[in-house]
Structure 1
């Protein structure tokens, strides 16, 4: 079985698992799955501009929001019956993102690098600022609400029906995005990332190509915004906030902008991470920032690059030799994560307003214990802070040991690939000597 067949089988299995989720999850978790799918499509659409064309956009929420408002107005048209049937409403979002993307892309792509990033950010902030004041389009601060109408014998009143609609659109959109990357325009987008000056020297209209790539990304971002409106049955100017644009950037880089499905993977995981952790702590945004910093420092190719490298090394050295290294990394991650969570939660509780109220006006009074992980900890006791220190030290030691063993495996693999016989060594030396410098 080839690698392509294995990958295709994995994708089909993943699609089958996604199709069976409504029978396995509660309504709340199923709604979280819808948000994960929408975030995955938005990050994949963003990666068309960022990962493939090398244009770092800081304002992609503008096209997500444009698609959302186009969809909600399409739902309210014709006396609430909608311009098109409910299953086709994301087409209105695609049109909204497309139109705004053409205008914004024409101006923003006249510059590159930091200037391009600042222009995209300014466009999104401009829409976010003026949207509350244009009530006829954006509904003011209250936004615009609507209702999903029955269509094709489906009521679209349950979360399960909305999930399947979202899943169908996300899968179709991802397939179309992948096919786009195989077209000549998709290939030329890589040239924009690598050397746009050489493309211009070869006779290509770099600005027109940049606008086309930007517009494709904006159109699929509008589809994601349309799916968001179908799920929530409302649109508000907060869809233009910079936090949504930042989420697309973070999710894409955490997943890995160098691979097609990397941003979708990162967006799905980080959306679920926020859904799960936000119920446990108020510092969940801080944890997201820590994850992003760790990924950028130690896994610059993202989670997809980590998975691909691990799979390649698994095939080269075998599971018996790689499994202990993976176990060490897993243990190091648990220890470092536990130590970090201990420090963050202790400091958050110590500086919270509720805890400061327990101290009273007498600053010399002893600080009451802080309840964390089912245990009461004295804030200034040495034994309290020895726990995170021990966890962080043990995690660092395991990470160092795992890294040392990983380097040993990589060196042994390289040694195995070098010809061992004198004849082969001589022939390889002669061949390298004959090659031009």
Structure 2
């Protein structure tokens, strides 16, 4: 517990102190990371806490953004309202729509619940371009942040600290909610809804409440995005936004409270750093999701938590070697996958098709990683295949060694076990 408090305090200090020393690009990235983290935590309240997988949470995220923008427009027209409290508009509309949508969606569970939430989000996505007065059509609506108490809110840094304040308060509120008796009840709903009914609780009303709370915090995240961008359009209701928060949550770890934050930080940073380097960054993102779901279903946070729980019980020297070997295997496989992906992207791209026409139908060499490659050359295809094969063999062997080490360490007696056994005898 002390370690967790120390890590949280150190992270907060870094988030407060470091941004003024960063460039505008990184400040913007941090704002997006904070917003994505809050959105993922709000989604996980419904998915991880209550076991209700929503495929349409973009509806409440987008409505929170538009409600905040309308309030910003009213402030421009003379309404007296503190700029730091703008996300309250997103919270209010998210809560209201969450109650209505949740009432109908929670009448079903499992895949049917997921499909209903997806249908609700698609309804918003299809209607908003045609509602010019409310959503500005396809162009959306825009507004400006107005000064308050001498704070202009004209710089990215000011927006960052406003976003940080709201995100920290929202995370504390979400954590407190999970610790309440009702928060514990939602865990029971996830594990055995029928038993909750037998105990006399209204399961449907409970699910509506947790749905509405999740939508409310999603609306706050949408409101913060509107404040940051000063504009929004119907694309916020797209299935891509809903899918993104699902990926972030499960990659980070849906069973851990701060797990979705890990996924949001990882994917947002990945998009910020990689999207300018390759057009295939979404493919890599999807590949990461598949690998995590196959080999680490508890997410990155689950893997980290598992190691932290055993940090005092394990002889990590015996695991260091297999982990290092596994890392080498993973790097080799990653190199082969990246090479093949970028090669296919170039050979089937429009620019290379123009080069083929200019060359009279021949396949000209292409540039990748600063080198020239022949499309029909043997080494062009043998090298990545060798990388994949070597990496796969190394990973399989190291995986076997890691499992053996964990099994051996699990059979070893801890000092506490020895004392307990000795006292019992």
Q: Give the TM-score of the pair, scaled to structure 2.
A: 0.95
Check if 1:393 corresponds to 2:396.
no
What residue is the counterpart of 1:431 in the other structure? Answer: none
Contact 1:22 1:160 in 2 (8 A): yes
What residue is the counterpart of 1:435 in the other structure? Answer: none
What residue is the counterpart of 1:202 in the other structure? Answer: 199
The change in CA–CA distance for 1:151 and 1:361 in structure 2 (over 3 A counts) is closer
The change in CA–CA distance for 1:83 and 1:62 in structure 2 (over 3 A counts) is farther
What residue is the counterpart of 1:377 in the other structure? Answer: 373
| Alignment counterpart, residue 238 of structure 1, candidates 222, 228, 235 | 235
The Cα shift of 1:187 comes to: 0.5
Of 266-275 and 303-312, the range deviating more from structure 2 = 303-312
SS of 1:154's equivalent? coil
The equivalences for 1:30-429 within 5 A come to: 30-82=27-79, 84-360=81-357, 365-417=361-413
In structure 2, how many angstroms separate the alpha carbons of the residues matched to 1:79 and 1:71? 12
Contact 1:81 1:149 in 2 (8 A): no
SS of 1:317's equivalent? coil
Contact 1:74 1:83 in 2 (8 A): no
Of 206-215 and 407-416, the range deviating more from structure 2 = 407-416
In structure 1, how many angstroms separate the alpha carbons of the residues matched to 2:388 and 2:21? 37
Check if 1:24 corresponds to 2:30.
no
Contact 1:98 1:216 in 2 (8 A): yes
Count residues in correspondence. Answer: 422
The Cα shift of 1:218 comes to: 0.1
The Cα shift of 1:30 comes to: 0.9
Q: Give the TM-score of the pair, scaled to structure 1.
A: 0.93
Q: Deviations over 1:270-308 (max 9, x none)?
A: 011011111001111111110000000001000001111
Q: Deviations over 1:306-358 (max 9, x none)?
A: 11122234432234223223322322222221111101000010001110121
The Cα shift of 1:83 comes to: 5.1
The Cα shift of 1:142 comes to: 1.3
Q: Which runs of 5+ in 2 are unaligned?
A: none
The change in CA–CA distance for 1:412 and 1:96 in structure 2 (over 3 A counts) is same
Q: Deviations over 1:143-174 (max 9, x none)?
A: 11100011122111001100111111111100
SS of 2:192's equivalent? helix
The change in CA–CA distance for 1:245 and 1:83 in structure 2 (over 3 A counts) is farther
In structure 2, how many angstroms separate the alpha carbons of the residues matched to 1:348 and 1:119? 36
Contact 1:75 1:83 in 2 (8 A): no
The Cα shift of 1:362 comes to: 7.7
What residue is the counterpart of 1:434 in the other structure? Answer: none
Of 150-159 and 395-404, the range deviating more from structure 2 = 395-404
Contact 2:27 2:160 in 1 (8 A): yes
In structure 2, how many angstroms separate the alpha carbons of the residues matched to 1:147 and 1:23? 23
